[in-house]
Amino acid sequence: MDDINADESTNSFLAQKAVLERRWQKILDDTTPFVQYRWIGTGVLLLLFILRILLAQGWYIITYALGIYLLNLFLAFLTPKFDPSLELDTQESEMEEGPSLPTKADEEFKPFIRRLPEFKFWYSATKATAIALFCSFFSVFDIPVFWPILLIYFCILFAITMRRQIKHMIKYKYIPFDLGKKNYGPSSSRSR
């Protein structure tokens, strides 16, 4: 009898969990087209976190960890899914092995596909900021550190990482941002 009650309560719990997961996914799906508003909300959340840190004068380790995580997400957002440097290495090794049949045209169009799509970038950044804000309310996470060292180290890490990423972008000629539709000539309006 106890086994039946335990199975029913487990099934009820799993059913409720599935319902909540579907509701949450529906909310996420509904917010997908509103890119600008999603990022504004994340910016406000990040601003609240920074305000909390500045007013409370603590939780610098959490701030540092959040900064490193957001930098990591940003780099994944800027990086192409298929790294051109790896493709060139593969082509060079094939050249050393001898001639082979062509597998693709030299001028093949390759759209820029991100390693981390914008929605996942936003969702991960928002979750991380919310978790960091939540952690800033517990003194167990307020580890005493000399914050200027963390700030200087983060700035150096950011500069070196971004310089390397920009050099990679220039070397392999890709731009991770859509700069809008290109106009090739003067626009002319036709009247009907």
The pLDDT of residue 25: 93
Of 4-8, 94-98, 163-167, the poorest mean pLDDT is in 94-98
Closest CA to 80 of 110, 108, 115: 115
Closest CA to 160 of 150, 152, 170: 152
Closest CA to 135 of 21, 72, 56: 56
pTM comes to 0.73
How would residue 90 be classed by pLDDT, with cut points 50, 70 and 90?
low
